[in-house]
Structures are given as structure tokens and as C-alpha cells.
Amino acid sequence: MSALPSAHTPPPSPWDALPSPVLLLARDGRAQIVNHAFERFTGLPAAAAAGLGWLDCVAADSRQGLLAALRQPADFQCQVRLAGRAADGAPREAWVDVAAQWDASCSLHVVLLHDTTAARQAELAARSRAEHAARESEERLAKFMQASCEGIVFHKDGRITDANAPACALLGHSLDDMLGRRALDFVAPERVAQVEAVMKSRLEAAYESVVVDKTGRRIPVEFIVRTLQHQGETMRMTIVRDLRDRHAALARIHHLAHHDALTGLPNRSAFMEQLDHQMQVAQRADGSLALLFIDLDHFKRVNDSLGHLAGDTLLQTVAQRITGVLRSADRVARFGGDEFMVLLSGDPAREVVAEVARKLLAAIEAPVHAEGRPISVTPSIGIAMFPGDAETPAELVKHADTAMYLAKARGRATLQFFDPSMARGAYDALVLEGQLAQALERGEFVLHYQPQVRASDGMLVGAEALIRWQHPQRGLLRPDAFIPIAERQRLILPLGRWVLREASRQACAWREAGLVDVPVAVNLSTLQFQSVDFVASVAEVLRETGLPGELLELELTERMLMEDWHEVRDRLGELKALGVQLSVDDFGTGHSSLGHLKELPIDKMKIDRSFVTDLPERSDSAAIARAIIQMGRSLGIKVIAEGVETEAQRSFLAGEACDELQGEAVSPPLSAQAFEAWIARDAAG
């Protein structure tokens, strides 16, 4: 520190032998004696320290307290700060502990100085660091609170002390509104006890609860509670996480798990749960239920011809129409694919159920506009009643399904109640279905051929190939015993391909042998004709067998021609390009338009056997047969009558100028060998 003017130089002192700074002070603070250690410590020569000069080294904030202590006749200790300049002029600051005792004469204080500068500086540095860390902690907490997208609330003893902007926004209150209020004021009343218990326990926890915002709206939240030190106090910090999005997502997942994504209706699993519950309720109340199994007829052709988007539109429309027919208490579900389930509760009478089913039939079959054109499908509906028809949900569904398939077998677009006798028939059909799948591989199918002759002279003009199943246990089965099952299980496609190939192969073999050179007619199923690769498969068969196209005749039903007229017309045109002959089977039983029919490349019309059976006795049958023959003549289409069993029928039809005849009166269906023998006899006769 800077040297002060010297008043006089004190004599040498015995205190110089001490290593610590020592000085003797009067009550007025004047230095009487200082030792060399003092001079070294302060940089102040002894002469300059005499009198009051040394006090200039004591900082002003320490000087008054030191002088007051010196004026008291007692020992004391204190800490003072020395400030000044060193000999080189640099600022100097030191902290010293002052230990003062009265000397033996009680006229001077013996002052011992202990340098605490380093310790004091360390203390100050530590305090500075602590204050800096506290400031940083406060800043980090403030930044965290403001940066967090989740609400954060601080509370002490249940009273809110701080909250961030997201918390205020969630609750709809300003921070000023919230400060000082009870945290429980913002909790839904029924959750207050739960939250209060967590607060009292002082536990750190995470749990779901509900808060109420300023408008009274209830908001599901998750509370994440922690205890921490904040501004020197023990506080509770609660993170308030809004769960509305999470709950909405969970609700969506639950909905998707129990509902059909396309139609929004309950799915199979959800419906079975409802069915089980409703059956239990009905059983306890001695009530009844009705289950309607709805399947859309020929729905696949919509997907195949117009695409799946059109099919989806149709399914959505059907779902809306079904729902529109039902009461709010009734249940409806999409069971899968083109299948729908309807559950009628409230003890419905059988006639009421039938009326609902008829309304569903009418509603569903109305045309739907999709892909710029009207499309429609008809439903087949099977009905099973509880408790009469079943005891369990699975059994009730099974029996409604059985009734639905019977409705399809009886012409589709109709309803059918389950009858216990169906159960045995369904079991037999199931067994036959399993055997049918293996029959093709085992070569159990054969073709019989029924001759077709010219009505005017009996000359052979063709043959119809008719499939038979040589069943290993049941013998020779006619088509009506297995074709409906094959159609239902889509086995009709490989079966139809086999018939087409085998009939073509046989016709080609007879032609090459010089035995007969007439067309062989093959009946087509709806699925077969509507399959996307049908025309290509016909071309492939003709190429493989070498049969000329004009020696293959394909028979289509009148209904098949009218289901999608534009597509049918195009497909028939492709078949005619192969040289194939086309025939309309069972003509007169459908609703074909004469205007449409004349635009199709039809070669032959078949009078259905139902109109031939009563000929010539019944005048209405005779009138229908006569009209069909005249229509064919006017359109340039040949007419053949099937089911001709008597000479009277044969004579009537020949007299009306029917072109061709087929039936028992000509010949029953024959095996290939028997047909060859029949030809030989006919030629010999």
C-alpha cells in the first residue's frame, strides 16, 4: 500500500521477533508500535504507521467499527478489510482477523493481525458461484417452463405460486388469476379427493385426473408430480399433460377394432359380443330375437367388371339402406365381404320379421349409381329365431347362414326362415362339398350327351353335354345334386373348365373318326361366364383340342344376358369372333328385352321345358311356345324345344315349325359310348 508521511520513527521493538503482524494501538486508534511483520504485510514503514496513519489502510466500511471497539476497555476480535495501494502503485485489498488485548498497563491494545484474504476470497468466490448457479438454475427453470408445451404449475402448501403459459392456456386463466389460489380449485369435483391424497402424501407420482377450465369444460389430464427446492423453499411441481389427443386416438383405435373401416358398422367380433349379450337378456326376460343373415347375390361381378371402388361404393350404400330400414334398437353389422347381419330384438313375431326382410330386399336391390352407371345387386336373406332355432350365438349364426344358402338355392333375391330339417341337409351338403373338392382330382366326373335333332326329319344336328358325378358311394348323381354346392364354393370354375375341355375333346375325336360332325352344346354358369379370363380360356381350349369354333355351342341363361347388358354384348362379340355358336337356355323364364335381344349375336333360343310339359293340352303353354317360335323366326334365330317327352309334344312343335327338338322322346342323355351306338343305330335305320 502507498507509504504515508512519517511523523517520527519509533524505536526497535521486541515484537519484531514475532512472525505475525503486531501493532500496539491507543484508544484513539493511534499506532504506537508496529513490528516488521506488520511492515511486510502492509507495505507501510513503521515510521509511517505511527499516529493515525495506519488507519488509512483500513477500508472505510471497517474503520468505524474498529475505532468503536478500541475505545472500549476490553479485549475484542473483529475482521477488517485493508485497502490501499502497494509500493508499486497496484491496488491492494486484504482481509484480516484482528485479535486485540489490553497490555499490562491497560493503556494500549495489543493487536494481532491474521491474514484471511485467501479464505475470504475463496468464500466470496464460492458465494459468487452459488449465486451464479442459483441465477442459472432460475433461468433454466424459467426457460424450461416457457419452452415446455405441457403445463407446469408450482404450488406450496396447496397454493399456486407460479404457472407457465401452456398451463394458463389449458385452464383458460391468466397467471394473475391463478396465483395464490388453491390448486384443487381447478380439479374436477369427483377427482379432488384423489389429488388431495397425493398432495398430502408428498409422494412423487404420475396419474390421470380431470381438470375444469374457466368455461367449465372437463379436460382429461395426466399429473406428473415432483418435489423440489425453488427459491430456497420446498415446492411441489406438477406437470399437467393434456390427454385429449391420446384419449381420442385410443377411442379411434377401439372403434377400428370393433367396426368395419369401409361402412362404419360394427364388425364380426363386436357383433358376436352384442349377440351374446342380447341372447342373455332375452333368455332372462323369456323373450325372443331374430337374426337375419344377408348375402349379396353375384357381388363379385361388380368388383370384376367395374373395379373395387365401385364395389366399395355399393357396399357403403347397402349399409346405409339396411340401417335406414331398421329401428334404433336393432343391431346391424358387416360380417365380412358382402355379408351383413341384422339382429331384431323386442320379441319380434315371425310375420314382423318377414316384413322387415321384405323391406330389406326392396331397399337393397334398388340401383346404385357408381362409376357413372347404375348398378344393382339382389340380396338373399336367411333368418333364424332365438330361442326356437338355437341355444348359442354361434349356432344361431350357423342356422341363419344355412337358411340364407337355401334362399340362394331357391332362386336368390328372396328370404328363407330356418327349419330344423335344414340342419341335416346342411350336414349332408358339407360332406358332399368336401368330396366334391376331390372329385375332379380323382376323375369322378363324366359327360353324358343328349342328341338334338331337326324337328322336320329327325336328323341329328347337335348334342348337349351334361355333367354327371360318378360318386363312389351314392352312384351316378345328376347336376342338381351338386352344382348348387359347386357354385356356392366357387368350385364351379374349375368344374366348368373341365366340362368345356372334355366336351371339346370328345367332339373333336368324333369328328376326326368321321362319326359325327355337329356342334356340342355346353351349359355355362354365371361365375364362369363373368370370369375375366373366360373368352381367353375358350380360345385356349379350341386351340388345344383343334375343334373348329362353329362346332362348340355355349348355352347362357336369359338372366345372364341381362345382368350387365353392355359387358355381355361385348363378351358375346368376342366369342363370336372365335366362331363359337351361342344359345339362350330356358328362354321365356326371364325378363329379357326384345330390343336388347335382337342386338346380341344369338344363334339359338331354347324353349324352357316348363312350357313344353303341358303341350299341346294347355292353351297358354301352346301360345307361349308358338310366340317364341315366331319370335325366333322374325329375328333369324333358330328355336329348339327341350324336355320333349311325348309324341304329341313332338308333333305339335314340328307342326309349329320349331327348328329343333331335344328330350326323352328323342333320346335320354347317353354316355359317350352309348351316344356312338345311338348314332350307329340311327344311321342304320
pLDDT at 99: 67
Domains of the chain in sequence order: 14-115 (3.30.450.20), 148-246 (3.30.450.20), 263-418 (3.30.70.270), 444-684 (3.20.20.450)
Give the Cβ contact number of residue 611 at 10 Å. Answer: 24
Closest CA to 653 of 450, 586, 644: 644
pLDDT at 51: 61
Closest CA to 554 of 515, 533, 594, 526: 526
pLDDT at 649: 94
pLDDT at 289: 94
Element (H, E) at 46: helix 46-49
pLDDT at 227: 86
pLDDT at 1: 45
Q: Per-residue DSSP letters for 545-565?
A: H---GGGEEEEEEHHHHHTTH
Burial 135-162 (b: 16+ CB within 10 A, else e): eeeeeebeeebeeeeebbbbbeeeebbb
Element (H, E) at 405: helix 393-409
pLDDT at 4: 41
SS3 492: helix
Cα gap 364→376, rounded to integer Å: 8
Cα gap 308→304, rounded to integer Å: 8
Strand pairing class (520-523; 460-471): parallel
What pTM, to 2 d.p., does this model score? 0.46
Residue in the block written with cell 496513519: 53
Cell of 308: 373395387
Mean pLDDT by 10 residues, the chain (685 residues): 45 71 75 78 70 70 77 74 62 67 68 67 66 59 62 89 88 91 93 92 89 94 85 82 86 79 90 93 92 88 75 90 90 91 92 94 85 79 92 92 82 85 66 80 93 94 96 90 81 92 96 93 91 93 95 89 79 95 78 66 90 89 91 91 94 94 95 93 71
Contact 267, 331 (CB under 8 A): no
The order of strands in the sheet holding 415-417 is: 331-336, 339-344, 289-296, 379-386, 415-417
